[in-house]
Structure 1
């Protein structure tokens, strides 16, 4: 009797977690750069032989790797990543990875995220533009030019969010380990004037 109660309770907890995950994904179906969360459940067996009892695990979360569709905006400060990479922004909790490329240039020429955090280059430094020269032109590799002069490059990074990752805001992910800059990869690039929709 007691075992059956534990089995029912574990199933209820697993169901609740699955429903919470679905609700969060649906709530972010229109969030730019959002990557959906999935949950994996495993059977946990207690005991051996005919007295063994199978429980549902509490589940482990993972981040969907599917890409959202790209929408053209025409805004020179909107950027979408093509391929498997992430932007990096500097926040109060440290570096955060995001696919949300809604950027802007502040009065000091710093490239900023929509939340007002500095966007980082491949070396982990804030990107500095010349505010007198207007929006930059971006190459597919993330390089930024103003008046035909190279002024910087948007950093593109790889990282493994792992299981039970931590979100920051709606579309940001706090990396558990230092992300690695993407270099010399033809399958990764930046599209200026585009944004990536949620992949829900």
Structure 2
């Protein structure tokens, strides 16, 4: 395979993966607590260097660029804008930290506070996953008191108050955001231990939600750029294919 054809194919594949990431970001522009992903592109060494037959900066014919590839997919944890919803079961975190929720028996973290109560008094996420308290147990309040409740359910420190029940939501922070692995659109699995926030760190705003971390205009502009880069690589593949076909035809005619 001509080396230029190989580099163009690698570039097209990398841009296609980048477009997939951007499309998922745009699809979640209105998802509460969503954190956008970034496809990190990295220059690739030539095939000979990757195979261990040469080394970088050798100055040989093998010391040429090998195109680009998506080296990793990282999450941007920048806080989204808080927006009022007038929903008493919505809760936004103003500072650092995450809520703890239970998914299939495992503890996960989330910034999405679009909660609701079931008829049995269980506090759950929009997907129906239990929200945990500081003891790591699903939060449940008296269903009869819940039926009679009027007004806010949360305070500015992340405590649930219904009737005589006052329950602190579990609000934690990892030692490093790099210890989190994204699960779905708004949940994160902690790869290391997490620590409960101190009372002065527990800053919440009832009746608000943290919006998506996606800026639709920025993402669309980046999407257009990625699509054009993809088209440029595809055109290079077509040009190489035409040149190779012309070369083969000339050789056959001369033969």
- Give the shorter-chain TM-score range: 0.7 to 0.9
**Partners of 1:50 and 1:6 in 2: how far apart?**
19
Return the match for 2:78 from 66, 86, 100: 66
Relative to structure 1, is the Cα distance of residues 179 and 83 closer, same or farther in structure 2, using a 3 angstrom cutoff? farther
Kindly report which structure 2 residues correspond to 1:1-20, keeping only aligned pairs within 5 A, or say none: 2-20=2-20
**2:154 is equivalent to residue 138 of structure 1:** yes
What 5-or-longer segments of structure 2 have no aligned partner? 50-57, 215-255
Query: SS at the partner of 2:166?
Result: strand
Q: Which has the higher helix share?
A: 2
> Would you say the 8 A contact 2:109–2:190 is kept in 1?
no
Q: Which has the higher strand share?
A: 1
Corresponding residue pairs, total: 197
Q: Which has the larger radius of gyration?
A: 2
In the superposition, the TM-score normalised over structure 1's length comes to 0.85
CA apart distance, 1:150: 5.5
CA apart distance, 1:49: 1.7
Deviates more, 1:103-112 or 1:159-168: 159-168
**Partners of 2:157 and 2:180 in 1: how far apart?**
31
Question: Where does residue 196 of structure 2 map in the other structure?
Answer: 182
| Alignment RMSD (CA, Å) | 2.5
Kindly report which structure 2 residues correspond to 1:142-157, keeping only aligned pairs within 5 A, or say none: 142-147=158-163, 149=164, 151-157=166-172
Question: Where does residue 43 of structure 1 map in the other structure?
Answer: 43
CA apart distance, 1:93: 6.3
